[in-house]
């Protein structure tokens, strides 16, 4: 509840004052009076600035901590550890406050928490553990003018205040297309599902190849119920691409790869990181210098590639890699959680750490502007968005980020590491 104190003014009735004739002020008296006024104004400004400098810079973090979501609880722990690590740093002496809230897996509760945090004066939001919650909170951010750094990879369109940190399909495919071009190849084909998921994948594929200056050689779609994909694999292989992008879910991705191998295709195939199982992750390396000949047993996952977060393969990154130091620092902050994590989980957790790093830096940029004391919180929130939009590309643990006006994607393909299996 907000309490406002209203001061009522009244005009007392007083008798007319006598007329007093004073001599004109001398130059010396005018200077003394002016100096006194300046001293009072300076003292007031310094006191206000000092009070403003000690005001906390607040971030709201909303995750699903108590709804059986292991990732949501871990993301909340990452926010807590970040707050402890930066307790003595703050923002130029002012405290950095990270307010963690639990939506309990309910998108409507996430929406209510976002409104509550905004009413309490947070300057930015980090959310959410599910696409449904992100959609609601994103709508709140747009309506109220508060920056939202979004954690899930669902598409975000026509939004000004929402910036997506997780690399989407288009970003991952662009990294794949550039990687293939660096090997002197340009043609790519796509195999994907014949449903809404595949529609989005086909659109991302065309946009990604356009981003990379390449032209797709064909797209083949298959039914979600398919149990054999050798005809579709043959169609893709006969297009003679330099690589085939297999963009599906876990089961059908494996099915498509087996179909390709059965039809004699042993060229590189790029897949979604989410489809890579634990055993395959152990085979990943941060380069594509595996064996030159296909294995005798027709291994379906040989020469499979994926564009992944740097932190998921941090041990394979060379010393000069731009994301290596940030990834190691983030791992140190996340160390000791007491659970065994798969690479994909580490990447999801690192997104929270990256979001807080980006906001802490944006807050410093705003603080350096020396904004007038008493500025409305809406103006400070606008300044935070402007700081993010004007910042150069920044390599961090889970990727490289750069906000651009009119583009809700903050994760850039340059921050992904293309890895392959031997």
Please report, for the chain, the start and end positions of each structural domain, with discontinuous segments joined by +. 57-167+320-415, 169-308
CATH of domain 169-308: 3.40.50.2300
Q: pLDDT tens digits for 163-197? A: 999 999 999 999 999 999 999 998 999 999 999 99
The yes-or-no answer to whether 57-167+320-415 and 169-308 have a common fold is yes
Mean pLDDT of the chain: 84
CATH of domain 57-167+320-415: 3.40.50.2300
pLDDT at 416: 97
The pTM is what?
0.83
pLDDT at 292: 58
Q: What is the SS3 string spanning the chain?
A: CCCCCCCCCCCCCCCCCCCCCCCCCCHHHHHHHHHHHHHHHHHHHHHHHHHHHCCCEEEEEEECCCCCCHHHHHHHHHHHHHHHHCCCCCECCECEEEEEEECCCCHHHHHHHHHHHHHCCCCEEEECCCHHHHHHHHHHHHHHCCEEEECCCCCCCCCCCEEECCCCHHHHHHHHHHHHHHCCCCCEEEEEECCHHHHHHHHHHHHHHHHCCCCEEEEEEECCCCCCCHHHHHHHHHCCCCEEEEECCHHHHHHHHHHHHHCCCCCCEEECHHHCCHHHHCCEECCCCCCCCCCCCCCCCCCEEEEECHHHHHHHCCCCCCCHHHHHHHHHHHCCCCCCCCHHHHHHHHHHHHHHHHHHHHHHHHHHCCCCCCCCHHHHHHHHHHHHHHCCCEECCCCEECCECCECECEEHHHCEEEEEC
**What residues in the chain have per-residue pLDDT under 70?**
1-54, 67-69, 285-297, 336-340
């Amino acid at each position: 509840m907000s309490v406002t104190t209203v001061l009522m003014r009244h005009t007392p009735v007083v008798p007319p004052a006598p007329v007093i004739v004073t001599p004109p002020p001398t130059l010396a008296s005018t200077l003394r009076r002016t100096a006194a006024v300046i001293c009072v104004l300076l003292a007031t400004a310094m006191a206000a600035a000092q009070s403003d400098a000690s005001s906390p810079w607040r971030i709201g973090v909303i995750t699903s901590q108590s709804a059986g979501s292991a990732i949501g609880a871990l993301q909340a722990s990452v926010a807590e550890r970040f707050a402890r690590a930066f307790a003595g740093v703050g923002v130029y002496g002012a405290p950095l406050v990270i307010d963690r809230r639990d939506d309990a897996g309910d998108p409507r509760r996430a929406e209510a928490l976002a409104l509550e945090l905004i009413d309490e004066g947070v300057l930015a939001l980090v959310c959410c553990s599910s696409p449904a919650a992100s959609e609601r909170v994103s709508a709140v951010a747009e309506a109220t003018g508060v920056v939202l750094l979004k954690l899930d990879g669902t598409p975000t369109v026509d939004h000004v205040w929402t910036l997506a940190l997780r690399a989407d399909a288009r970003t991952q495919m662009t990294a794949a297309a550039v990687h293939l071009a660096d090997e002197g190849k340009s043609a790519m084909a796509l195999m994907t599902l014949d449903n809404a998921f595949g529609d989005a994948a086909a659109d991302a594929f065309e946009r990604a190849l356009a981003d990379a200056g390449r032209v797709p050689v064909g797209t083949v779609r298959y039914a979600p119920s398919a149990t054999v994909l050798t005809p579709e694999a043959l169609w893709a292989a006969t297009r003679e691409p330099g690589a085939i992008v297999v963009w599906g879910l876990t089961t059908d991705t494996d099915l498509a790869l087996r179909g390709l191998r059965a039809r004699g295709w042993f060229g590189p195939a790029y897949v979604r990181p989410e489809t890579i199982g634990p055993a395959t992750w152990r085979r990943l390396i941060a380069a594509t210098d595996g064996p030159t000949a296909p294995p005798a047993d027709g291994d379906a996952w040989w020469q499979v590639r994926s564009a992944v977060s740097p932190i998921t393969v941090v041990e394979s990154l060379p010393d000069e890699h731009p994301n290596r130091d940030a990834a190691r620092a983030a791992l140190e902050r996340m160390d000791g959680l007491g659970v065994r994590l798969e690479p994909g989980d580490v990447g999801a957790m690192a997104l929270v750490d990256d979001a807080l790093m980006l906001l802490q830096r944006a807050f410093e940029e705003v603080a350096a502007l020396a904004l007038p004391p008493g500025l409305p919180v809406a103006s400070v929130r606008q300044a935070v968005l402007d700081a993010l939009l004007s910042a150069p590309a920044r390599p961090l643990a889970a990727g490289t980020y750069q906000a651009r006006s009119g583009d809700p994607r903050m994760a850039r393909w340059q921050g992904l590491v293309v890895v392959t299996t031997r």
